[in-house]
């Protein structure tokens, strides 16, 4: 396939839209809505427009239909397709209903599709299970993702795997402690079947690691970030770090690679403690 010199895809994550109070006050959630609107305006203003925007989960706070109505009202204003996958705060039922055009798998809310007019495959792996904050993959999902990566690799296509929960430990212990069932098995799949890049959410901040030979990254959220505290004594806290999204540039090279940039669209303040359920 002949394609442009580079293709840019965007990663928007952890927008946490809500209409409820959830103990933080309605103003907190109104701010998340405002931030998503400003991210959409910024994405539409990119001089090298992203071909698609991938939403790597926790798109709403509590899975409600009303929250997805706000989400879809705002993301429908994007000049390019918005391809969502669920995080632990999403509802797999309502995300499917809200984005019926996505080629959802039947038994898990994963999908795999080609970026229009390119040979780039995006493979979104659902790492959620109802009632669980941490990650989850079973044998069926492991087999599915390995097969999807193999198909792209055999066709020499760049392939980006998107997950909500990252397949690496971050060192932010209270978040890592949420756990990930099937973690070792998923890493083994990525080591044996390396995709071009792995992008994730859940931690709300830029983090980069390596899984086998593949670069794996977490993108910054548009909502408040998990506080950066790497001490073993770190207490759960969030911080108003600068928000934005990722731009992944994929050059039309012989050897597929992804170059990741961060677009900042807002400013910072101080950390605040929060209550979490693990
Ligand atoms: Fe989140
Ligand atoms: Fe999450």
- State the ligand closest to the CA atom of 225: 1
Residue 234 in 3-state DSSP?
coil
126-139 average pLDDT score = 97
86 alpha carbon to ligand 2 midpoint, in Å?
Answer: 9
- State the ligand closest to the CA atom of 88: 2
pTM: 0.95
As a whole number of angstroms, the distance between CA 7 and CA 46 comes to 13
157 alpha carbon to ligand 1 midpoint, in Å?
Answer: 30
Q: Strand pairing partners for 261?
A: 247
Residue 90: CB atoms within 10 A of its CB come to 28
Report CA-CA distances (Å) from 247 to 11, 25, 84, 88, 220.
6, 32, 16, 24, 11
56 alpha carbon to ligand 2 midpoint, in Å?
Answer: 9
- State the ligand closest to the CA atom of 59: 1
* CATH numbers and ranges of domains, the chain: 6-273 (3.60.21.10)
Looking at residue 180, its pLDDT comes to: 98
Residue 152 pLDDT greater than 90, yes or no = yes
pLDDT, tens digit, for every residue of 163-195? 999 999 999 999 999 999 999 999 999 999 999
145 alpha carbon to ligand 2 midpoint, in Å?
Answer: 20
89 alpha carbon to ligand 2 midpoint, in Å?
Answer: 6
Residue 84: pLDDT band by 50, 70, 90 thresholds?
A: very high
pLDDT, tens digit, for every residue of 207-220? 999 999 999 999 99
Cα 24 from chain centroid?
A: 23
160 alpha carbon to ligand 2 midpoint, in Å?
Answer: 20
139 alpha carbon to ligand 2 midpoint, in Å?
Answer: 22
Residue 229 pLDDT greater than 90, yes or no = yes
As a whole number of angstroms, the distance between CA 18 and CA 30 comes to 8
Q: What is the DSSP string of 92-128?
A: HHHHHHH-TTS---SSSS-EEEEPTTSS-EEEEEP--
Looking at residue 1, its pLDDT comes to: 52
Residue 274: pLDDT band by 50, 70, 90 thresholds?
A: confident
Looking at residue 4, its pLDDT comes to: 65
Residue 219 in 3-state DSSP?
coil
Looking at residue 267, its pLDDT comes to: 65
132-157 average pLDDT score = 97
**Least confident piece of the model among 19-23, 72-76, 118-122, 155-159:** 19-23
pLDDT, tens digit, for every residue of 7-55? 999 999 999 999 887 778 888 889 999 999 999 999 999 999 999 999 9
Which residues fall within 8 angstroms of residue 19, CB to CB, at 6 or more apart? Answer: 29, 64, 66, 67, 70
119 alpha carbon to ligand 1 midpoint, in Å?
Answer: 30
Looking at residue 271, its pLDDT comes to: 60
């Amino acid at each position: 396939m002949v394609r442009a010199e580079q293709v840019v895809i965007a990663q928007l994550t952890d927008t946490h839209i809500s209409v409820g109070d959830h103990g933080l006050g309605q103003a907190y959630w109104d701010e998340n809505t405002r931030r998503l609107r400003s991210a959409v305006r910024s994405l539409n203003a990119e001089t090298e427009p992203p071909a698609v925007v991938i939403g790597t989960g926790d798109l709403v706070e509590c899975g409600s239909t009303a929250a997805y109505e706000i989400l879809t009202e705002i993301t429908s204003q994007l000049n390019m397709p918005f391809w969502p996958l669920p995080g632990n705060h999403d509802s797999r039922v309502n995300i499917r209903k809200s984005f019926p055009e996505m080629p959802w798998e039947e038994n898990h809310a994963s999908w795999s599709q080609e970026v229009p007019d390119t040979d780039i495959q995006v493979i979104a792996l659902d790492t959620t299970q109802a009632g669980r904050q941490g990650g989850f993959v079973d044998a069926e999902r492991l087999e599915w993702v390995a097969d999807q990566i193999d198909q792209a690799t055999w066709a020499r296509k760049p392939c980006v795997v998107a997950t909500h929960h990252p397949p690496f430990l971050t060192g932010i212990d209270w978040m890592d402690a949420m756990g990930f069932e099937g973690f070792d098995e998923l890493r083994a799949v990525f080591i044996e079947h390396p995709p071009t890049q792995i992008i994730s959410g859940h931690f709300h901040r830029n983090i980069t690691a390596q899984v086998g030979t593949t670069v794996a990254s977490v993108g910054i959220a548009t909502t408040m970030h998990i506080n950066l505290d790497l001490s073993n004594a770190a207490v759960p806290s969030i911080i108003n770090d600068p928000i934005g999204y990722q731009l992944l540039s994929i050059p039309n090279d012989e050897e597929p690679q992804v170059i990741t940039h961060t677009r900042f669209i807002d400013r910072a303040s101080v950390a605040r403690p929060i209550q979490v359920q693990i």
